[in-house]
Amino acid sequence: MKEYRHLVKPYLIWAIAIVCIPLILIVLYAFTKEGNEVLTFSFTWENFAKFAEATYVNVILKSFWLGIVTTFFCLLLGYPLAYIICKFGEKTQETLILLVTIPMWINMLLRTYAWMNILSDNGILNQLLGILGIPHIQLMYTDFSVMLGMICNFMPFMIIPIHTSLSKMDKSLIEAANDLGANPIQTFWKVTWKLSIPGVLNGIMMVFLMAISSFVIPKLLGGGQYMLIGNLIESQFISVGNWNFGSAISMILAVIILISMQLMRKMDRKSE
């Protein structure tokens, strides 16, 4: 193993430069007053206390609401699709999973612009409605457009973990349940669903965390009127220039993510 240790050094240098140093700077800025230099570090809780204002509380509540709704619809639509994929042969499953992951190869910004062309007043969808004699519908800059963009972008992150759990499931357990007189609903609820819970929890965690921290989709499909946690962090760093408050929000979001991951792990252990 000693002859391979030199291969680890470039990775460690890269991790320290790209991950560790930015995290340290975020922590320092979060506990520093606005306008102070990092080198003259002065401990303060002002940046975190500011987040308790009603405006920013509404931002986090709005983020959690959209995150929960997005996660719910991703699970509602993604679970049946993952279940159907598992019913095919192995080679067909690989092809179908490939089709699910292909949209992820395209940059999220491009996918979001595509939805803007579809949902805009002169977009493809309203043009089709016009052909059918239906008046134009305001689809852009609404909760519907933001949630639709999130659902379509994050759906693969729900399907793939569920498919992984279902594909690893011992099919003999389903046969045993059928032999013991269980109907299809009982077999699904008592066997299939319970064995797929680890994948469901992983999918929920990934989709929810990405939904509450997203800023590109709400900014473009929401027309800038949707201020979620991700948009708030972006505006503090880029537009406002208040790196101290932006760093404090980033730390709060990181704590929320860590707590959510820990809760999901506990639920996963209980399900096992």
CA distance 191 to 188: 6
CA distance 131 to 111: 25
- Is residue 270 pLDDT above 80, yes or no? no
- Name residues whose C-beta falls within 8 Å of residue 211's C-beta, 6 or more positions apart in sequence: 63, 66, 67, 70, 71, 150, 154
Calculate mean pLDDT across residues 45-73: 84
* C-beta separation of 100 from 94 below 8 A: no
Question: Which has the higher per-residue pLDDT, 265 or 156?
Answer: 156
Question: Which has the higher per-residue pLDDT, 154 or 103?
Answer: 154
* Helix locations, the chain, DSSP H: 5-15, 21-30, 46-50, 54-85, 90-101, 108-119, 124-131, 143-154, 156-167, 171-179, 184-187, 193-213, 216-221, 229-234, 243-271
The 3-state DSSP class for residue 138 equals coil
Confidence of residue 38 (pLDDT cuts 50, 70, 90): very low
Quote the radius of gyration of the chain (alpha carbons, Å): 23
* C-beta separation of 166 from 82 below 8 A: yes
CA distance 249 to 213: 11
| Highest mean pLDDT, choosing among 140-144, 150-154, 234-238 | 150-154
- Name residues whose C-beta falls within 8 Å of residue 26's C-beta, 6 or more positions apart in sequence: 247, 250, 251
Calculate mean pLDDT across residues 181-200: 85
Query: Is the full-model pTM beyond 0.85?
Result: no
* C-beta separation of 215 from 234 below 8 A: yes
- Going along the chain from its start, the domains and CATH numbers come out as 53-271 (1.10.3720.10)
* pLDDT value of residue 269: 67
* C-beta separation of 192 from 168 below 8 A: no
- Is residue 77 pLDDT above 90, yes or no? yes
CA distance 159 to 142: 26
CB count in 10 Å sphere of residue 3 = 6
* pLDDT value of residue 183: 82
CA distance 59 to 65: 10
Q: Please give the mean pLDDT across all residues of the chain.
A: 82
